[in-house]
Amino acid sequence: MATVNNNTVSNPYSIDQLPTVNVSDATQMENNFISLMVAQIQNQDPTKPIDSTEFLNQFSAMSQVKSMENMTSLSKSNLVLMDNLQTLTAAGLVGQEVKVAVDSLDVGSDSIKGQLNLAHAAGAVEVKLTDVNGVSKTLKLGSQAPGLVPVEINPAALGLSPGKYKVEISSDSGEYPTLEVNGLVNNVRVSADGPVLDVAGAGAVPFYKITEFGQAPLAGLL
């Protein structure tokens, strides 16, 4: 298992291991077809010669099989390349702040900031946090208009002990939006399912759960 730290990455995939397509396969297939056709002509019944369309059908079938093999090889190559590009992109996020969709939080002493997106206005919105023992605390956000709603979870104010908490959001409009948390990427771990980011406040998060990332603006610049 490889780990990305300080913008470095050890990738388990090597470009040398990618399956390749041999451009001489078509020539080899034609040679095989000609050899097969000659053998069939030499051994055919003179009173019942083989229809020429049979040769064309055989050649077409061989071409389709070879094309499918080449497409499979190319698809495997593309998947490996996409995985490598995704890993490199994730490695570049180390030390940057991202926004990720979560259903659980790693709560410490610091406040966790994020947002949720409401499609409809709601008279009451609540964020329910449940620890591993089943004890729940509720953060009431009150009435909210449609759109992005900022959320700040203050462990001290809610009486949350450090640990992992399950997150559930509900509103009286019947919506169950997802919490998106802002957090700093500490490191990236390469797994069989793709890059996994260690995000402050969110814990281990798969790369595909990133909802927003970008270069932070420099102080003093517009």
In sequence order, what are the beta bridge partners of 5? 8
Q: What is the C-alpha separation between 135 and 107, in angstroms, rounded?
A: 14
How many structural domains comprise the chain? Answer: 2
58 Cβ neighbours under 8 A, 6+ residues apart: 33, 36, 37
Q: What confidence tens digit (pLDDT) does each residue in 50-101 have?
A: 666 776 677 677 777 777 777 877 777 776 677 667 777 777 788 888 899 9
For residue 157, the surrounding DSSP H or E stretch is helix 155-158
Do 131 and 199 fall into the same domain? yes
Q: Are 45 and 125 contained in the same domain?
A: no
Round to whole Å and give the CA distance between 111 and 85: 33
Q: Which of 76, 91, 106 is the last residue of a domain?
A: 91
Give domain status of residue 58, yes or no. yes
Residue 3's pLDDT is: 45
Global pTM exceeds 0.75: no
Percentage of the chain modeled with pLDDT above 70 = 72
Q: Do residues 56 and 126 both lie within one domain? A: no
Please indicate, yes or no, whether residues 178 and 141 belong to a single structural domain of this protein.
yes
Residue 141 C-beta-side C-alpha neighbours within 13 Å: 24
Tokens representing 16 are 């040398």
Long-range pairs, 136-145, Cβ under 8 A, ≥24? 144/118, 144/171, 145/118, 145/121
Same domain assignment for residues 86 and 188:
no
Tell me whether residue 138 is in a domain: yes
Say if residues 109 and 20 touch (Cβ distance below 8 Å).
no
Q: Is residue 69 part of a domain?
A: yes
Question: So what's the pLDDT on residue 220?
Answer: 44
Boundaries of domain holding 192:
97-212
Name the domain boundary from 70, 91, 112. Answer: 91
